[in-house]
Amino acid sequence: MLKGKTLNAGATIGIIAPSSPEDKEIINKKIEKFISLGFNIKLGSHLFDKYGYLAGSDQDRADDINNMFQDSSVDGIVCFRGGYGSIRTLSFINNKLIRSNPKFFCGYSDITLLLNYFSKLGLITFHGPMINSNFDDLATLDSFMSIISSNTSKYTYDLNLYKEITYLNPSSFTGKIVGGNLSMICSSLSTPYEVDMKNSILLLEDVNESPYAIDRMLTQLIYNKNLKKCKGIILGSFDGCTLPDYTKSLRLDQVFTDRLKPLEIPIIIGFPFGHSYPNLTIPIGCKAKFSYEKKLFTVEETFLT
């Protein structure tokens, strides 16, 4: 297992845009906020590039990823934003370079496939906020800062703190943390970059998808037989996945119950990660366990050195 080093005040963070572009003014404003948290930064050469809905060409965006891992002055890497496009960089990633230079790597949403691909290479990655995230949300900030400076083998999330969390097939479970954005996970099916769900704790979240679309994607994973491989499923934020009128629709909670309860796999609903806030930082690729009796989710191995 490959691990980056812990990041403390003064660490140099490489900032890249593997997916969609953003206006230069917004990028600079968000970077100023991130610097105020106590970090030094190094910008990817193509951070400000634009090519339609992509932040530059596939090769250029992949080069920024490869170069940040190779650069010995960079301590960790945080993606600027998601959107779309990281899947197009995967065939340009230098696997040997990633394995030889393990570093903290963080993002979510469209970054999901990079997180899980690097995890397949042996690197612990992190599903968490990006540079354009709202670090004024204290729970999001506290989780991020706590994770990046931790090398404990018993890092615990106390689900008793979140009263909105509910459960299907309530039980304890143990597995390897994988997953992230539901749409991106489905887009990886039957490709060389498909997310490995065997003996996993599968994280799922999404944004601005109608309940029928969530139903469709979950059904795809059911028919693909991937969900039956999981030891447990953790559903995060599904922000914007509601409707003003349910006359001709199931509610999202009904979709989850209808599609997932028959799997007879323990499921946590409403864990605070994803496109809403708080967006807690979670290591991808680590073994973890959930105690239903205590309502504690514990990462059971160190994720940084």
The verdict on whether 109 is a catalytic residue reads: yes
- Cβ atoms of 270 and 159 within 8 Å: the answer is no
Q: Please, which residues have CB within 8 angstroms of residue 88's CB and are 6 or more apart in sequence? A: 54, 58, 61
The verdict on whether 275 is a catalytic residue reads: yes
- β-sheet bridge partners, residue 289: 174, 298
Catalytic residue (choose from 19, 20, 86, 109): 109
State the pairing for strand pair 76-79/12-16.
Answer: parallel
- What six digits make up the tokens of 89? 């960089």
Distance CA 91, CA 73 (A): 25
The verdict on whether 46 is a catalytic residue reads: no
- What six digits make up the tokens of 233? 């499923």
Catalytic residue (choose from 20, 46, 183, 205): 205
For 115, 143, 190, 292, the CA distances from 127, given in Å and listed in that order, are 7, 11, 23, 23
Active-site residue set: 109, 205, 275
